[in-house]
Chains A and B, each alone.
Chain A
Amino acid sequence: DGGITQSPKYLFRKEGQNVTLSCEQNLNHDAMYWYRQDPGQGLRLIYYSQIVNDFQKGDIAEGYSVSREKKESFPLTVTSAQKNPTAFYLCASSHPWTEPNYGYTFGSGTRLTVV
């Protein structure tokens, strides 16, 4: 079945360390997104990519980095520069808006805790 796989589901990181969250999709979607969810707040866009080898900053990109070397993969690195990294991270993908079967598919998320 097609879908998005995020791993790991739970991740613990020591302060000062970088950590990379994985997101893989087999839906042949061109666009991929990373969102952050905090208690009592709506999801916020960190980075997005509409095509391989290209990505754009979202609303809260500071302290994060991404790469898009393959269509299927959009890993997110939480760097030590991110001041408050403990959160729930969701990856999503979609066809371009111009496609008739446009729609978003979400992963199951990764809960990151800094200890």
Chain B
Amino acid sequence: KNEVEQSPQNLTAQEGEFITINCSYSVGISALHWLQQHPGGGIVSLFMLSSGKKKHGRLIATINIQEKHSSLHITASHPRDSAVYICAVRRPSGGGADGLTFGKGTHLIIQP
């Protein structure tokens, strides 16, 4: 079982719909990241969370540490939101490899 699970794997929606992407993890973490990868391949960091909720424009990210679950919401979705959204967790430092553990990503397509 992967340490980071995302759902759904693929999501197609109509412009204007409210979008929710879920991320569950099974390990202890110090932070959770939401990333956006466009077709060209480059990755942009959207949010870094260790508790609560963050909002940036039409994007909202929440995390529940007790339930080991995070959600990424997109309000008033637009075709330019079409991308792969990746959840990644940072393991606590000390011992083992540093860096992030990534989910497989959610491929989102917003149709006009």
Contacts and interface: CB of A to CB of B under 8 A. Distances in A.
B40 interface: yes
B27 interface: no
Contacts of A41: 104
A41 B101 CA distance: 11
Interface residues of A, number: 28
Interface string B18-51: 0000000000001001010000111111001000
Contacts of A85: none
Contacts of B101: 42
Nearest to A41: B104
Interface of B: 2, 4, 30, 33, 35, 40-45, 48, 86, 88, 90, 93, 97-105
21 contacts: A35-B99, A35-B102, A42-B4, A42-B101, A42-B105, A43-B86, A43-B88, A43-B100, A56-B97, A57-B97, A58-B97, A97-B90, A102-B48, A106-B35, A106-B42, A106-B43, A106-B44, A108-B42, A109-B41, A109-B42, A111-B41
